[in-house]
C-alpha cells in the first residue's frame, strides 16, 4: 500500500490537500495560536529531545550526528510512531515544523521511519499463517 506523508513549514499557506495536519515540534511557534494553524493534532512527544535539539541548533553536533541520534531515539520508542501511522492509514498526512530548512530538520526522519514501520506492518499482514492444529484439515496439494 502507498502512503502520503508530506513535509511543510507551519508558516506555509494552509491548503485543502494537506490532509491531516500534524505539528511535530516540541513548542508551538511563538506568536501563533494553535487554533489559527488549522492543526488536526499537535504531537510534541515525537520531536527530538530538548537537549539533542539544542546541541544541534547551537552547532555543537553535526547534522549527521543529530539525525543518527534522533533516529536511535525514535527506534528506541517505536510506539511514538503509532499515532502518525494511524493518520497515514486514513489518508494524506502533512507533518509541520517551524524549522527554516525542512530537510535539515527532524521531519525527514519521522517520515522515513513512519513509512518504514507502515511497510513492515503491511508485510507482516500479508504473511500466510495458520494454526498448526488446523494442518490435518487443510487440503494438501500433491502436484
pLDDT given for residue 133 in this prediction: 56
pLDDT given for residue 22 in this prediction: 96
Please give the grid coordinates belonging to residue 49: 529531545
**Which tens digit of pLDDT belongs to each residue from 80-108?**
999 999 999 999 999 999 999 999 899 99
* % of the chain with per-residue pLDDT over 70: 87
For residue 124, which phi and psi values (nearest 5 degrees)? -70, -30
How confident is the model over 137-142, as a mean pLDDT?
58
**Which tens digit of pLDDT belongs to each residue from 21-60?**
999 999 888 777 777 788 999 999 999 999 999 999 899 9
The DSSP-derived string for 35-104 is GGGT-SEE-GGGSPPHHHHHHHHTTSS-HHHHHHHHHHHHHHTGGGGHHHHHHHHHS-EEEEE--S-GGG
* % of the chain with per-residue pLDDT over 90: 69
pLDDT of 110 > 80? The answer is yes
Amino acid at each position: 500500500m502507498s502512503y502520503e506523508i508530506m513535509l511543510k513549514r507551519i508558516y506555509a499557506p494552509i491548503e485543502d490537500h494537506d490532509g491531516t495536519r500534524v505539528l511535530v515540534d516540541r513548542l508551538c511557534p511563538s506568536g501563533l495560536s494553535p487554533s489559527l494553524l488549522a492543526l488536526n493534532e499537535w504531537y510534541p512527544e515525537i520531536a527530538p529531545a530538548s537537549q539533542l535539539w539544542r546541541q544541534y541548533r547551537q552547532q555543537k553536533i553535526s547534522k549527521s550526528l543529530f539525525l543518527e541520534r534522533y533516529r536511535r531515539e525514535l527506534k528506541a520508542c517505536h510506539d511514538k510512531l503509532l499515532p502518525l501511522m494511524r493518520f497515514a492509514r486514513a489518508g494524506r498526512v502533512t507533518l509541520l515544523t517551524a524549522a527554516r530548512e525542512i530537510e535539515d530538520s527532524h521531519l525527514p526522519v519521522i517520515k522515513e521511519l513512519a513509512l518504514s514501520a507502515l511497510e513492515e506492518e503491511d508485510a507482516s499482514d500479508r504473511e500466510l499463517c495458520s494454526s498448526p492444529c488446523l494442518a490435518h484439515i487443510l487440503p494438501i496439494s500433491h502436484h
